Structure 1
């Protein structure tokens, strides 16, 4: 009689993302011009009207957060400032965008990663986040909502 044993099969771990892959996922290396955090309204070529928060500005180009994790690109000339009050979730996005816009490469920051707050160095700013060097020397790519200056406490629990 032969006895069969079922051994667990371990799938190979996917390789860790490269710095280039993290940079690409975060929109590429870039620093915004003035205007990040502003509330705007614009209409798409298909006729859909959006209200959102500017995350990135370069020249006439705006990247605008319009919904949970949805960013649309439009022209500054097609957007207008919003006079009405924003929903609470967009107010939080606007605050986070302003804080991120004020950060500089080389600055010590605090960040939220895997449910814990830690401190590191902002190595490279991207459109929608940054590459951060952790204390152990590894690099992580983090979205703009997970970063704030090391000498400041977040105004809310970062998401």
Structure 2
């Protein structure tokens, strides 16, 4: 059975294990203080950043990290799904779908206007994402400051 729930302080070791796998998937590294700051915001109820954890038989198997923010074209909050990862040992069991559906369900229950995300063009997870909604025609520009 799969359970998707909010992360708690007790989940830090499991989340960090999954986070390390996520960073490895994207062939990137972050300074330890960035990971620590991300974790601190995930468990801070005042932060707009929030995390959800997917468990299979009590084992942390995947996560989502999202940001709830205001939008200039809508009256209710917007949710940006920033990070989503499923441990490779648990892939093919519908956990990615459960994590996205969890946000859809939360958004509907909490009155969010939109849920959005982006991914790399060649990400195999696009098959899953396309089942929820087609990709739009927007192009992302990113200027590092």
Tell me the TM-score normalized by structure 1.
0.27
Return the structure number with greater strand share: 1
Tell me the TM-score normalized by structure 2.
0.28
Q: Name which one, 1 or 2, has greater alpha-carbon Rg.
A: 1
Return the structure number with greater helix share: 2
